Amino acid sequence: MSKRDYYEVLGVARNASEDELKKAYRRLAMKLHPDRNPDDAGAEAAFKEAKEAYEMLSDASKRRAYDAHGHAAFEHGTGGGGGGHGQADINDIFGDIFGNIFGGAGGARGPRRGADIGYVIELDLEDAVAGVDKRIEVPTMVGCGPCKGSGSEDGKIETCGTCQGRGQVRFQRGIFAMQQPCPTCGGRGQKLSNPCKACHGAGRVEEEKVLSVKIPAGVDNGDRIRLAGEGEAGPAGAAAGDLYVEIRVREHPIFQRDGDDLHCEVPIRFSQAALGDTVRVPTLGGEAEIRVPLETQTGKVFRLREKGVKSVRSRSTGDLYCRVVVETPVNLTSQQRDLLEQFEATFVGESAHRHSPRSSTFIDGVKSFWERMTS
């Protein structure tokens, strides 16, 4: 059975660059590798075919021979020599593919950066709106003082002989060249002959760090503030991670927040609702007045512009929405009850309907409902 053209196998043009060859083979290898296709003889055969094509075309001398003579160049031993360039490239490809899993591929590496940490801070609504400075205590890992984060008691640090300071070791498994943290130095790339007694060579110790956090005005639930370099210290003097402070705003007894707007309920007496009145209402900046017109009903909303929250992002200011609630009086005196009874006695006959429009609409609706149910 004749072999397929190597360029056709990889799906590239005959003038494909070395980088294009590598990308094409990587794509096929990920799709066809036997580990991803167990018990699939067809995929295994296709994988071997792609591997052979890449090994030939990634070697410059073999590629020239193939371009000149095709498969016959290798069947009759006329192919150009080569120093295993194709195999080396295959290893590099799989180093790229699996680098993230095994800690990265190739190159000298220092100790990894310290971890980011999170901290939740609770605020009253007033503090979230106005902004505030808060002192927090964060349990974390900090650089060891006695060894200044080096992990060495005497300051002497040697390059790890196993990984040659890379922090990674590479091993071969079939065609795969994989990497993992060095088992000798734990990925540090360094060896300590005399570890620090305070941190046992780790270069960091547990400690409660005290910080001052400036909370900007207008923050809301879920907002996060990043403090660069205030996370966990990295091992062996590596850079520290970041601290993310998440905001939680406590419920307020008067106001409910919706974005940059505030909402509140304002109770008024039914005499105020009927006759109209000027009512003082609270705001976060003091007091304000709303003019309640006569015959106001429960649920009427009054908007006070720019009495809400100044946005932490756009610097615009939201509004305050006051919803009036007509409150039923309690603990009446005998005089007040008499006056109310006299007042109620005036609602007689058909004229009563025009004084209670919502009640009249409700009664008409109930009558219509029962008529439909009984018809």
What are residue 301's DSSP bridge partners? 323
Give residues with Cβ within 8 angstroms of 167, minimum separation 6: 103, 108, 109, 110, 111, 160, 181, 182, 185, 187, 188, 189
In a domain, 104, yes or no: no
Are residues 269 and 346 both part of a single domain?
no
Computed on alpha carbons and rounded to an integer, the radius of gyration of the chain in Å comes to: 39
**End position of a domain, from candidates 233, 249, 265:** 249
Give residue 256's identity as a one-letter amino acid code: Q
Are residues 319 and 339 both part of a single domain?
no
Q: Is 130 in a helix, a strand, or coil?
A: helix
Give residues with Cβ within 8 angstroms of 4, minimum separation 6: 49
CATH of residue 58's domain is 1.10.287.110
**End position of a domain, from candidates 249, 268, 302:** 249
Are residues 235 and 147 both part of a single domain?
yes
**End position of a domain, from candidates 98, 129, 146:** 98
Task: Indicate the number of domains in the chain.
Answer: 4
Task: Let me know if 189 is exposed, middle or buried by CB neighbors in 10 A (0-12, 13-18, 19+).
Answer: buried
**At which residue do the structure tokens 């984060």 appear?**
149
Are residues 65 and 138 both part of a single domain?
no
Q: Using CA atoms, how far apart are residues 316 and 271, in angstroms rounded to an integer? A: 38
Counting Cα atoms < 13 Å in the Cβ hemisphere of 139 gives 1
In a domain, 311, yes or no: yes
Are residues 132 and 36 both part of a single domain?
no
In a domain, 83, yes or no: yes
Cα angle 112, 114, 116; round to 5: 130
In a domain, 1, yes or no: no
Are residues 215 and 319 both part of a single domain?
no
Q: Are 52 and 29 in contact (CB under 8 A)?
A: no
Give residues with Cβ within 8 angstroms of 229, minimum separation 6: 239, 240, 241, 242
| pTM score of the predicted model | 0.57
Q: Using CA atoms, how far apart are residues 63 and 68, in angstroms rounded to an integer? A: 9
Q: Using CA atoms, how far apart are residues 115 and 233, in angstroms rounded to an integer? A: 7
Q: Using CA atoms, how far apart are residues 129 and 219, in angstroms rounded to an integer? A: 7
Are residues 260 and 245 both part of a single domain?
no
Give the range of the structural domain holding residue 343, as residue numbers without chain letter.
Answer: 334-374
Q: What b-and-e string marks burial along 288-323, b requiring 16 or more CB atoms within 10 Å of the CB? A: eebebeeebeeebebebeebbbbebeeeeebebbbe
Strands 243-249 and 158-159: unpaired
Q: Using CA atoms, how far apart are residues 274 and 347, in angstroms rounded to an integer? A: 15
CATH of residue 139's domain is 2.10.230.10
In a domain, 109, yes or no: no
In a domain, 54, yes or no: yes
In a domain, 105, yes or no: no
CATH of residue 296's domain is 2.60.260.20
Q: What is the pLDDT along the chain (375 residues), one digit of tens a residue?
A: 568 888 888 898 888 888 888 888 888 887 887 767 777 888 888 888 988 888 888 888 888 888 877 777 666 444 444 444 444 344 444 444 444 333 343 444 455 788 899 999 999 999 999 999 999 999 888 988 888 888 888 878 888 878 877 778 877 665 566 777 788 776 777 777 788 888 888 888 888 999 999 999 999 999 999 999 999 988 767 788 999 999 999 999 999 999 999 999 999 998 999 999 999 999 998 899 999 999 999 999 999 999 999 988 888 999 999 999 999 999 999 999 999 999 888 887 666 666 776 665 655 666 676 777 776
Are residues 244 and 261 both part of a single domain?
no
Are residues 49 and 164 both part of a single domain?
no
Q: Are 143 and 267 in contact (CB under 8 A)?
A: no
